[in-house]
Amino acid sequence: MKYTEGFWLTSERAKISYASEAYEVEEIPGGMRVLAPTKKINGRGDTLNLPVITIEFKAAGHNMIGVRAWHYEAYESGEARYELNETPGGYTVSINDDEAVMTTGDVSVVVDRNDFSYSFVVNGETVTRCGFRNLSYIVMDREHSSMLPGDDYMKATGDDYMRCELSLRPGECVYGFGERFTPFVKNGQSIETWNEDGGTASQVVYKSVPFYITNKGYGIFVDHTDNVSYEIASEKVEFAGFSVPGEELRYYFIYGPKPQEIIREYTSLTGRPALPPAWSFGLWLSTSFTTNYDEETTSSFINGMSERDIPLSVFHFDCFWMKEFHWCDLDWDKRVFPDVRGMLKRYHERGLKICCWINPYVAQGNDFFREGVKNGYFLMRADGKGVKQVDEWQCGMAVIDFTNPEAVKWFTGKLKSILDMGVDCFKTDFGERIPVDVKYHNGADPASMHNYYTYLYNKAVFELLKKEKGESEAILFARSATAGCQQFPVHWGGDCSASFPSMAETLRGGLSFAMSGFSFWSHDISGFEYTATPDLYKRWVAFGLMSTHSRLHGSTSYRVPWVFDDESNDVVRFFVKLKCTLMPYIYSQAVLAHEEGIPVMRPMVFEYPDDPACSYLDMQYMLGGSLLVAPVFNEKGVADYYLPDGRWTHLLTDEKREGGRFYRDTYDYFSLPLYVAPNTVIVRGNTDDRPDYDYTRDITVHIYELEDGQTAYADIVDDKGVKVNRITASRNGSVIKVTADKPVDGIGYKLHMAEEGIGIA
């Protein structure tokens, strides 16, 4: 939200009180507290009729400082709160007449007591700063107040906000805020963290996360579940500003300096992702949304994939596994699926996992709805007139109240009955259309629950899957998210369209999502809305299979490859099999994500933060730390891409390219820019018909452009994510020595070196 009109003028709608002096500073447990009057105090009389802002700085983790600023101390917002895991370490506080300094780890916050400011400082260098007119309490649209008798006596009401602005340095780029489809670098954008069902082609998003990261070595997490309004070099071009409704503002400064270190600390605070089961990395095939289907139809899809030798891992039943006008009563439509248990047993015997679509909304007119009404399991109207119902999406639908423990038991109990039939996981759709004119069972502020609702929704379903299927088998396919939802993978990008621009915006969303602490991500291959051309379908297949999770899904038409053209069968087969052979590498990267929060799909700037050419790249990415992927986004088959420094090797052709420059090449449908970084060891499997197999044997170790004096390694994990071995390659002159921590059955080696005469010892 903008509160000013140009740099000098304040909006006539806003009454702004700025922190102007660090009048008092005291050490408190965990850090220090600052009393900041909203004007300079030159005498005792200046302390009267004056708002003050109080600021606390506390050590919250390694190189992490928590900041809390407030206007009214006794204010209680009733807002929902994120579940955070602070790990405060040691700290020191030093206070004198000129400045106050709190230090934890490598980071200090330095408060200037005379000309009010506070700066986050590392090794004597200011990383970012909040100074003149940057911290404020704001009343918008203040109503008339009078000291005379009447309704307006001392009223002084309006909409209250707390705002902070942090300085940006020249060349500083801001990333993150969740899955955002606008330009990857967020400078110049106004951003509202308010989840809504808006597709992928606007500023409206399904997954808002009040966290950003910059290429200058730090991240900022604003600890509010309500809407956080950002002005990123937009209201004031030298600052990233953020404001929240109410009397209090909380945020965390997290220093890296590398993106990996920032994300590691951020996910330590907000939660690390569970490790998805290995089978989930294979190909998912959906019925699509509004298509007609029954068991004969779904079996024809499954048979068709098998007949064409296309490995399939998961079959997904979308909405119409339930009867129309009955979503989501969680009952199979017996008109088209009379033998559910038998059907699912037959599919399991073919080695498939089964996914079913659900959402947290229940249409009226069925027994499940009536049971929820009777027991008080839905959100209630704010005016006290019963259950909140709307006709959006489903007729007269109600929304399950996940703050009610009994409602959670009721909903997950019904889901358990579906699991008992043979379903393995759920697509947890929606969770964004959450009304605010409602009452929650726990009394939480409904505006703050709008985004936080998806956390409780997905957590409830994920915890059920962990209980019923086992921790190693639990996985969702979720659309909505907020901070912390990375713990419940995997998420997909929502309703994109069948076009190259939509394919590109989908990738931008995924890259922003990765910069927001999410490790596993997917998208609807070839687009959800409309039907792709065969050309677009095949290009998107390459992108989709080089993502962590891969699903063929659409709206009004089927997405099996043979409905596009014969070559589509070959392209899907090629990339599914390629991904299966890469699973030892991909799954080792998934384990890293699970243990440290480092995303598997990474923006180029994430992996190469010191390369200025990477700052704005949003049409390519790294799959793990070693594979560069640049999808083709046009009918001509032309790809423009950048390779960082070093000698890169094309995974499919072994062609060598020198880095530090851009390239333009043309590719057929069976290739794309898919390059291996230099000084890399990649372990590949020799199984290409399924993603879940024994990664510890019958493998080939590929060594790419190992430079003299360099050492590279690859961890070998099993299909449960346990690290069981490490392959290490070290080069000395013309000899590369390869060792394994443990003996490996069926191991082979392959060198990918431009130099001749290099051998393995």
Question: Is residue 432 flagged as an active site residue?
Answer: yes
- Residue 360's nearest CA partner among 321, 319, 411 is 411
CA distance 246 to 226: 10
The DSSP-derived string for 483-539 is TTGGGS--EE----BSSHHHHHHHHHHHHHHHTTT---EE-BTT-SBS---HHHHHH
CA distance 549 to 510: 12
CA distance 591 to 316: 25
Burial of 656 (0-12, 13-18, 19+ CB in 10 A): middle
Bridge partners (DSSP) of residue 249 are: 69
**Both tokens assigned to 437:** 């004119």
**Both tokens assigned to 749:** 């080696």
CA distance 682 to 732: 20
Question: Is residue 429 flagged as an active site residue?
Answer: yes
CA distance 141 to 12: 8
A 10 A CB-CB count for 658 gives 12
Show the beta-strand stretches assigned E in 295-419. Answer: 314-317, 353-358, 361-362, 380-381, 398-399
The DSSP-derived string for 446-470 is HHHHHHHHHHHHHHHHHHHHHHHH-
CA distance 141 to 161: 11
Q: Would you say 217 and 139 are in contact if contact means Cβ atoms under 8 Å apart? A: no
CA distance 207 to 485: 9
A 10 A CB-CB count for 522 gives 22
User: What stretches of 150-309 show up as alpha helix (H) in DSSP?
Assistant: 259-270, 295-307
What's the order of all strands across the beta sheet hosting 680-685?
Answer: 680-685, 699-704, 748-752
Catalytic residue among 21, 318, 432, 529: 432
Beta strand pairing status for 735-740 and 248-255? Answer: unpaired
Catalytic residue among 197, 495, 505, 692: 495
Question: Is residue 611 flagged as an active site residue?
Answer: no
**Both tokens assigned to 504:** 């590109």
Which amino acid makes up residue 230? Y
State whether residue 478 is helix, strand or coil.
strand
- Residue 493's nearest CA partner among 476, 484, 506 is 506
Angle in degrees, CA 247, 76, 219, rounded to 5 = 55
Which amino acid makes up residue 457? Y
Which amino acid makes up residue 741? D
Catalytic residue among 429, 607, 715, 719: 429
Residues acting as catalytic residues: 429, 432, 495
